[in-house]
Amino acid sequence: MQAHTRNYVEAQKASVDDFWSTVLFNLKEEFGVNTFNSWFAPLSFLEIQDNILRITAPTQFIRECVINNYLHKIKQIAAQIDPRIKVIDLRVKANSATIATPTVAQEKKVYTNDNDTSSIKVEAYESSNLTSSLDSRYTFDNFIVGPSNKLALSAAQAVAEGRKNGIHNVIVIYGTVGLGKTHLLQAVADYINATQPNRSAAYLSAEKFMHQYILSLKNNSSLGFREHLRSLDVLLIDDLQFICGKSSTQQEFANTFNALVESGKTVVISCDRTPYQLELDMRTKSRLAGGLVTEIKAADLALRYEILKNKAQNLNLDLTKDVLEFVSQSVTSSVRELEGALNNLAHHAFNSGIELNLRNTKEILKDCILAHEVVVSIPTIIDTVAKYYEVTTKEILSKSREPRFVLPRQVAAYISKQLTDKSLKDIGHALGKRDHATVIYSIKKLEERLSVDTSINEDIAKIQDSLGMLPKL
Ligand code: ADP
Ligand code: MG
């Protein structure tokens, strides 16, 4: 009875933001990220009043498309979260001044439940709702090991096989995006589910944890939610940073986490920073930090090469050694980007039958490599130009009008304009405190020379190459 009352109070506290973000989350799950970004992300929540959910679209076009294709689904999802919703009012957003945004009082009203708290029933929690679906490609067999992920892999394998990680039953795998955290966590859940019927494991993203928790409060099934999680042998929560700082969800996570750890169960967490950098209460933080904490670092060239080769084979895409080398050398930021590049190549090979030789590969990947990989600073450009023309950086920055310094100075200005988004004023400043008119003049002079002297074009291509740019095709 006390627990029911607490549910009710917690439910009342849930804000309008939680409601709308839960609707959006479900729409994203249902329709995928592309449809979501095109049609649902632009919608704005206004209010819920008299059984009407009012939302706005930024344009008539989006409004009509949503009404024709998705309105029934939005209504169904919204009504699941708040059964009072019977009608959806979708209008084109008027000037912001004419739209009444919900007041604090209205926000509170949204989740006011008219029932007597004593009549609220705790419904059984539907456990199949809980877990995030697993990607069948994310298995240990498909995970390629290298120095940057070796420790994380062995910790994950130990959990999967039920071996003790020393004294640890808390594992934290952290690292920036696209390095294989989700892959490893899902591999653990997949392995346990497939091979050990007497052990139960659940993988869920922290985002899903939050939305399921909020939903369970609305459905009065939060006790079931808790019990289900606490009955697991292994709980895997991905991207924990997502719920940090969101007070009630974070507290719910901390309670679940502590209950599992205290009863000797295993919890595996992934996040994008160290446990101490997470916004959590000290007790949970220090428990996490006291676990087996391993970082996945960026993959080195050899690992990128192997991953690419493996993923190409899985796609039945025959890539030559020079293409594999080029792609793994050029795409360095994350394995996810590497995979993006590979999918791009596969798309061209399978849809236009194009032969994936080195030249075509460079052409296909030109934009994504330029967009993602090259971040050069003006000082780096000046140093590289100086080295190429065998002068010193100081000489390029000097006031000297000697031709052997003027050309490198013009080339440095020209490349800086092409490869950075700095203003001409910034470029001038970095090039020996020159004003922006001087930079314009330098670039103009160089362009005149380029049209008559092709050797300077070659110089520029070589300099771009040593800056890590694609060599000219
Ligand atoms: P994160 O969760 O760290 O952001 P993901 O696990 O989503 O990264 O990995 C991004 C992509 O890169 C996934 O498709 C994953 O399969 C792949 N990947 C990352 N590391 C490896 C690896 N060592 N071997 C094979 N694939 C990998
Ligand atoms: Mg991930």
pLDDT 10s digits, 150-176:
999 999 999 999 987 666 899 999 999
Q: What percent of the chain has pLDDT over 90?
A: 41
pLDDT score at 98: 28
Ligand nearest to the CA of 238: 2
Alpha-carbon gap, residue 284 to 263, rounded angstroms: 15
Q: What is the dihedral of CA 33, 36, 41, 47, to 10 degrees?
A: -130
Say yes or no to pLDDT of 104 above 60. Answer: no
- Using 50, 70 and 90 to split pLDDT, how confident is the model at 20? confident
One-letter amino acid for residue 401 of the chain: R
Alpha-carbon gap, residue 119 to 334, rounded angstroms: 53
Cα(331) to centroid of ligand 2, in Å?
A: 19
pLDDT tens, residue by residue, 115-124: 333 222 333 4
Residue 269 C-alpha from the chain's centroid: 16
- Paired sense of beta strands 52-57 and 44-49, if any: antiparallel
Alpha-carbon gap, residue 439 to 7, rounded angstroms: 66
Nearest 5°: the CA angle 255, 257, 260 is 105
What mean pLDDT comes out for the span 255-267?
Answer: 92
Is 182's C-beta closer than 6 angstroms to any atom of ligand 1? yes
Say yes or no to pLDDT of 12 above 70. Answer: no
Q: What percent of the chain has pLDDT over 70?
A: 83
Greater confidence (145 vs 51) lies with: 145
Say yes or no to pLDDT of 420 above 60. Answer: yes
Atom 25 of ligand 1 has which residue's CA nearest to it? 143
Alpha-carbon gap, residue 336 to 372, rounded angstroms: 12
Q: Kindly report the pTM of this predicted structure.
A: 0.60
Say yes or no to pLDDT of 310 above 90. Answer: yes
pLDDT score at 111: 27
Cα(215) to centroid of ligand 2, in Å?
A: 23
One-letter amino acid for residue 94 of the chain: A
Say yes or no to pLDDT of 374 above 60. Answer: no
97-111, 174-188, 303-317: segment of lowest average pLDDT: 97-111
- Using 50, 70 and 90 to split pLDDT, how confident is the model at 387? very high
Assess contact for 280 and 161: CB atoms under 8 A: no
Is 177's C-beta closer than 6 angstroms to any atom of ligand 1? yes
pLDDT score at 167: 64
Mean pLDDT of the residues in the chain: 82
Q: Assign residue 174 a region: left if phi > 0, alpha if psi is -120 to 50, beta otherwise? A: beta
Most ligand 1 atoms within 8 A of CB, residue of 144, 335, 339, 343 to mutate: 335
Most ligand 1 atoms within 8 A of CB, residue of 132, 136, 173, 179 to mutate: 179
Give me 1's structure tokens.
């009875």
> What phi and psi values does residue 312 have, to the nearest 5 degrees?
-65, -40
Residue 177 bridge partners (DSSP): none
Is 304's C-beta closer than 6 angstroms to any atom of ligand 1? no
**Helix or strand holding residue 170 (H, E):** strand 170-174
Assess contact for 235 and 260: CB atoms under 8 A: yes
Is 302's C-beta closer than 6 angstroms to any atom of ligand 1? no
Q: Which atom of ligand 1 is nearest to the CA of 175?
A: 3
Alpha-carbon gap, residue 435 to 441, rounded angstroms: 10
Cα(449) to centroid of ligand 1, in Å?
A: 47
Alpha-carbon gap, residue 192 to 186, rounded angstroms: 10
Q: Which of 202, 273, 278, 291 is nearest to 243 (CA)?
A: 278
What mean pLDDT comes out for the span 108-112?
Answer: 27
pLDDT score at 143: 97
Is 152's C-beta closer than 6 angstroms to any atom of ligand 1? no
Greater confidence (416 vs 62) lies with: 416
Ligand nearest to the CA of 156: 1
- Paired sense of beta strands 292-295 and 170-174, if any: parallel
> What phi and psi values does residue 266 have, to the nearest 5 degrees?
-105, 135
Atom 6 of ligand 1 has which residue's CA nearest to it? 180
CA distances from 385 to 237, 408, 422 (A): 49, 6, 18
Say yes or no to pLDDT of 10 above 70. Answer: no
Ligand nearest to the CA of 337: 1
Most ligand 1 atoms within 8 A of CB, residue of 132, 138, 183 to mutate: 183
pLDDT score at 6: 39
